[in-house]
Amino acid sequence: MAAEGIVMPGQQPSTFEPIAIDFQRTNTRQSRLSRSETRESKKEVRDPNFDINLPYRTLSRNANLREYTQEEPSGATETGVSEDGTPYTVVAFTPDDKDNPKNWSKAMKWWCTMCVSVTCFVVAFCSSVITADIEGVAKEFNVSEEVALLSITLFVIGFGVGPMAFAPLSEIYGRRIMYGSTLFVAVVFIIPCAVSKNIATLLVFRALGGIAFSAPMTLVGGTLADCWKNEERGVPMAAFSAAPFIGPAIGPLVGGYLADAKGWRWLYWIQLILAAVVWILITFTVPETYAPTILKRRAAKLSKSSGKRYLTEQDLDMRPFSDRLLNFLIRPFQLLFGELIVLLISIYMSVLYGLLYMFFVAYPVVYQQGKGWSAGKTGLMFIPLAVGVICSSFCAPFVNKHYMTLVRKHNGKPPAECRLIPMMISCWFVPIGLFIFAWTSYPHISWAGPAFAGFPVGFGFIFLYNSANNYIVDSYQHQAASALAAKTCIRSFWGAATVLFTNQMYARLGYQWASSLLAFLALACCGIPFLFYFYGAKIRARSKYAYSGDDEETLETKLEN
């Protein structure tokens, strides 16, 4: 389970001075006209310190990002006069500003990091814990297991649908209110699931809960980018990136013993307890971290106290919400079906996401049906998968160190394909683990084979996931939000679908060949990072949206057409 928009720890190098993006306004009309100048007068430089603000940022491409990325001694980036003749000042953070999340104490930053990471873990946990007793739901409501499995499918579909609206909403109202409101709704929607008297009630509220839970998964990466400076972000991002994968692995472990002891309804009560705890933590202990929202409140306070007019960049530049929402709904699919890089990377990540959720069905098939184990004992077999995820997270600083070497080698402007090196190395772990799982899953063979096969699979997941996200972000800088949204959408729908046919696949093909089919599929995908490593630059050069390393005017022309 993964949260959309994660960037590899330490993605932004800290050894280079940021390039100032400086617009001076004398009045609003002049500002608007200057932004409509001919393409020849515009320059777009790839700044190695450019903060994409992981992963959703829908400000216009010409927005004065200096307001959020630089501290100004005067507390303002510029002054001007509006069309009605009223002078205004655009507010900014001052040096060592205590309201700037990047200047908070390390203790406060780590508290926020742990709160949002635990929230991400809980959401991922909620997606998989119910797999421990699908049979119990099917028996109580007298439906097939395929219908009962829809409680997983609909929840995961919500992960792909929700971000389309929650991402732009968070830019308007801030992260804190989105965390608090959506988590509260998610907590409420768990209750009808736990007390449901029919399958329809369970499925409807499970689907709504998935949509509500998608907001925290969408916003966590951005929260960490808000709090940590580029050079500090490595370890926090490593801690966070593991949470969405550890959650699904721990879910069946806890759920198995709980279902054996208390029945399937307690699988929802435990979700309610954990979700309520993280809602309290987020709502009452984590302040607003989104710089535009903080500055907007400062501007309103200054305007009220001084009688003068203080604004933020969003006040001058922000497009209507309908435009942002339209951008999030349409642009992802334009990139998905029009950009080979986005399409193939999305397919690869969808395959991996589907494999993760197939495991939740395959493990009970192999251990409960094949070996006659209990749900609780079967849940223990997910531990190696979780250990693999944790071990790969510990390797993240070494990957970042290697990338920083490449940054220096390329004078601060490494090609996007440098992000594929960890992917080319780690892609082999997943098929290796699946082949081991396949041919050690005979009932008469030791339990250890299929269990420990989860270690290389979990180890490969994190490397592949982070490398893929980094490659998309570097390849589609100004369109990164839409490209990541496309990947999240198709990935969620495929992951949701896989749980519905895994049982039949294992029943008809047998344990060995069903798992081998998945291994061959993962093996075929190993060619994707190699394809883009050798030909990605040429593909990006012909792309309408991708950053290709061309001169600035050529890039600008392609993006504007």
Whether 358 is covered by a domain: the verdict is yes
Q: Which of 277, 304, 319 is the last residue of a domain?
A: 319
Q: Are residues 241 and 388 in the same domain?
A: yes
- What pLDDT sits at residue 479? 72
Q: Which of 319, 337, 366 is the last residue of a domain?
A: 319
Asked if 487 contacts 472 with a C-beta cutoff of 8 angstroms, the reply is yes
- What pLDDT sits at residue 217? 82
Whether 545 is covered by a domain: the verdict is yes
Residues 295, 308: Cα–Cα separation, whole Å: 16
Condensed to tens digits (0 to 9), the pLDDT of residues 239-264 reads 777 888 888 888 888 998 899 899 99
Q: Are residues 255 and 365 in the same domain?
A: yes
Number of neighbours of residue 173 by Cβ within 10 angstroms: 15
Whether 10 is covered by a domain: the verdict is no
pLDDT > 50? residue 225: yes
Q: Are residues 92 and 138 in the same domain?
A: no
* Total domains, the chain: 2
Q: Are residues 416 and 280 in the same domain?
A: yes
Q: Are residues 82 and 121 in the same domain?
A: no
Q: Are residues 106 and 207 in the same domain?
A: yes
Which of the two residues, 69 and 283, has the higher pLDDT score? 283
Condensed to tens digits (0 to 9), the pLDDT of residues 518-546 reads 999 999 999 999 999 999 989 988 888 88
Work out the pLDDT band at 378, boundaries 50, 70, 90. Answer: confident
Element (H, E) at 310: strand 309-311
**Where do we find the tokens 């933590």?**
281
Q: Are residues 210 and 200 in the same domain?
A: yes
Q: What is the sign of the dihedral through the CA atoms of 535, 339, 418 and 488?
A: negative
Whether 337 is covered by a domain: the verdict is yes
Q: Which of 301, 319, 337 is the last residue of a domain?
A: 319
Cis ω before 529 (30° cut-off from 0):
no
pLDDT > 80? residue 223: yes
Q: Select from 407, 488, 482 the least CA-distant residue to 11.
A: 407
pLDDT > 50? residue 381: yes
Condensed to tens digits (0 to 9), the pLDDT of residues 77-134 reads 666 666 666 788 888 888 888 888 988 999 999 999 999 999 999 999 998 899 888 8
Q: What is the mean pLDDT of the chain?
A: 80
Whether 1 is covered by a domain: the verdict is no
Work out the pLDDT band at 234, boundaries 50, 70, 90. Answer: low
Q: Select from 217, 35, 34, 6 the least CA-distant residue to 118.
A: 217
CA dihedral 397→401→406→410, nearest 10 degrees, is 110
Asked if 34 contacts 23 with a C-beta cutoff of 8 angstroms, the reply is yes
- What pLDDT sits at residue 343? 93
Whether 177 is covered by a domain: the verdict is yes
Whether 161 is covered by a domain: the verdict is yes
- What pLDDT sits at residue 543? 85
- What pLDDT sits at residue 486? 82
Asked if 61 contacts 282 with a C-beta cutoff of 8 angstroms, the reply is no
Condensed to tens digits (0 to 9), the pLDDT of residues 156-184 reads 999 888 887 787 788 778 889 999 999 99
pLDDT > 80? residue 228: yes
Whether 8 is covered by a domain: the verdict is no
Q: Are residues 206 and 63 in the same domain?
A: no
Least confident of 4-8, 214-218, 235-239: 4-8
pLDDT > 60? residue 436: yes
Condensed to tens digits (0 to 9), the pLDDT of residues 398-435 reads 887 888 888 888 887 888 899 899 999 999 999 999 99
- What pLDDT sits at residue 444? 86
Percent of the chain surpassing pLDDT 90: 31
Q: Domain limits at 487?
A: 101-289+326-553
Q: Are residues 90 and 167 in the same domain?
A: no
Work out the pLDDT band at 553, boundaries 50, 70, 90. Answer: very low
Which of the two residues, 35 and 228, has the higher pLDDT score? 228
pLDDT > 90? residue 199: yes
Work out the pLDDT band at 334, boundaries 50, 70, 90. Answer: confident
- What pLDDT sits at residue 226? 84
Q: Is 90 helix (H, G, I), strand (E, B) or coil?
A: strand
Following DSSP, what letter does each residue of 432-469 receive, concatenated?
HHHHHHHHT-STTS-THHHHHTHHHHHHHHHHHHHHHH
Q: Are residues 93 and 185 in the same domain?
A: no
- What pLDDT sits at residue 232? 72
Q: Select from 290, 225, 230, 224 the least CA-distant residue to 47.
A: 230
The CATH number assigned to the domain holding 360 equals 1.20.1250.20
pLDDT > 80? residue 56: no
Q: Are residues 279 and 363 in the same domain?
A: yes
Work out the pLDDT band at 51, boundaries 50, 70, 90. Answer: very low
**DSSP H helical ranges for 129-262:** 134-141, 145-148, 150-161, 163-173, 175-195, 199-227, 234-262
Q: Are residues 77 and 142 in the same domain?
A: no
